[in-house]
Structure formats: C-alpha cells, structure tokens
Amino acid sequence: MSDYLDIRTPDGNFHAYRVLPKAAKAPAVVVVQEIFGINADMKETCRWVADQGFIAVCPDLFWRIEPGVSMSSLNEAEWKKAFALYQAFDRDRGVADIAATMDHARGLAQASGSCAVMGFCLGGLMTFLTAARQRPDAAVSYYGGETDKYLGEMPSVHKPLLMHLAEEDEYIAPPARERIVKAAKSNPMVTVHTYPKCNHAFARHNGVHYDAAAAALANSRSSEFLRRHLA
C-alpha cells in the first residue's frame, strides 16, 4: 500500500510518499531523494525498501522552493530545473526536515520505533549530514556528492553508516572519494564500499549509468545492513 503523509514543521507542512510492508509492525527507513524530487525512481526505491520489510517514507525535500517536484523524463529541461533546485536548496533546513520525517515515521501506528535514513546523490549527502547531526538508528548513503566538503563532521557519526561510492563518479572526483574513504577509516561506525567501473547514479533504476550487477550488490549490502541494525 502506498500513500502520502503530511509532515508538520514550525515552518509549515510538507508531503512524504509512504509504502508499507506486509508486516503489521516494522522499522522505518526515510528514503532521501535525488535532485529530481519524488519521481518514479524514488517510488520504485520505496517499493524495494518495503519489500525488504521496512516502512519506506520519502519526504519532499524541495517543498520550501517548489512543492511536489517529480521529474522522471530527465530531459534537458528537467536537468536544468533540477540543478537550479539543487543550487537553491538549504541543506541545514533539509536536515531539519529529514529529522521531522524520522520523528513522524517513528510514531506511525505500524512502526516498531527504530528508523534509518537512506539517500541517493543529493540524498546521499543529506544522509551523511543527518547521520552526523541527528540520531538515525542507521544510515545508508549512495554516491553523496560534495560529502568531501563536510568531512569535519565524520567524528560526529555515532550510529552505523554505510556508504556506497562509484570509482568513475563524474561528480565525485577520485581525490574527493579518497578523502571520504580516508576520513571514514577514522570512525569505526562507518563502512565504505567502492564500485569499480561505475559512474554516478549506478543504482538509479533505468538511469543512463545504471549498472545492474553493481546496484544488486550495493542493494544487497544495504538490505543486510538495515536488517542488522534496525530492531
């Protein structure tokens, strides 16, 4: 079953897409979008999360700029709009909105109480920042662009964090990736996997750089990780 939730904050309300698993009670996973809003890929990801036995909740991160963004064609016009939204997005407020979504998800009637965050691209960066600044029970970041700019926050990650990085990522250059990997080694709560010959967004369903084998491996690692760390 899928529907939309209304998340309340002091600044206003925003929507989040929800997919429920078959179990009557389950942990929650906040799925954090790429720069294209709650689009077909994010909805498919939420269905996959629910199939793994978790409540999936995907918040509308761009609601303060333009509510209801959903771009799935990814043509030139949508890419241009997506990057404009990315530039205008307030990351600090985004972390607060993810925290509000976690609080809401933990309080759902079907929720067992624990909650993780899992994000992609921009959502991968936001997952790292949320893991450092808030207290999700676990976090999974896929190719979070510009994470290397926030490595001073790596010591603040006190719950398990799993990071997936592509070795041919056009948005995360090898030196940046190496800095992330090096910083992660200083924190025993953080695990990093890198994927050879993979580009950015290798796990995006139907994406130009989708790599079925790498996506399956990363997703299997994510599923096992979430099962291990969410009660």
- Which tens digits make up the pLDDT trace of 140-199? 999 999 999 999 999 999 999 999 999 999 999 999 999 999 999 999 999 999 999 999
Residues 6+ apart with CB under 8 A from 126: 32, 61, 91, 94, 95, 98, 117, 119, 144
Q: State residue 144's pLDDT score.
A: 98
Which tokens hold the place of 22? Answer: 């078959």
Q: How many domains does the chain have?
A: 1
Residue 18 host element (H or E): strand 12-19
Distance (Å, rounded) from C-alpha 130 to C-alpha 99?
A: 7
Q: State residue 89's pLDDT score.
A: 98
Q: State residue 231's pLDDT score.
A: 72
Q: State residue 1's pLDDT score.
A: 80
Q: State residue 211's pLDDT score.
A: 97
Q: State residue 219's pLDDT score.
A: 98
- Residues (pLDDT < 70) of the chain are none
Please state the three-class secondary structure of 69-105 as a single string.
CECCCCCHHHHHHHHHHHHHCCHHHHHHHHHHHHHHH
Q: State residue 23's pLDDT score.
A: 94
Residues 6+ apart with CB under 8 A from 112: 25, 26, 27, 231
Active site (catalytic) residues: 169, 200
Q: State residue 17's pLDDT score.
A: 98
Which tokens hold the place of 104? Answer: 């809401």
Residue 10 belongs to domain spanning: 2-229
CATH number at residue 103: 3.40.50.1820
Distance (Å, rounded) from C-alpha 47 to C-alpha 51?
A: 6
Give the global pTM. Answer: 0.97
Q: State residue 168's pLDDT score.
A: 97
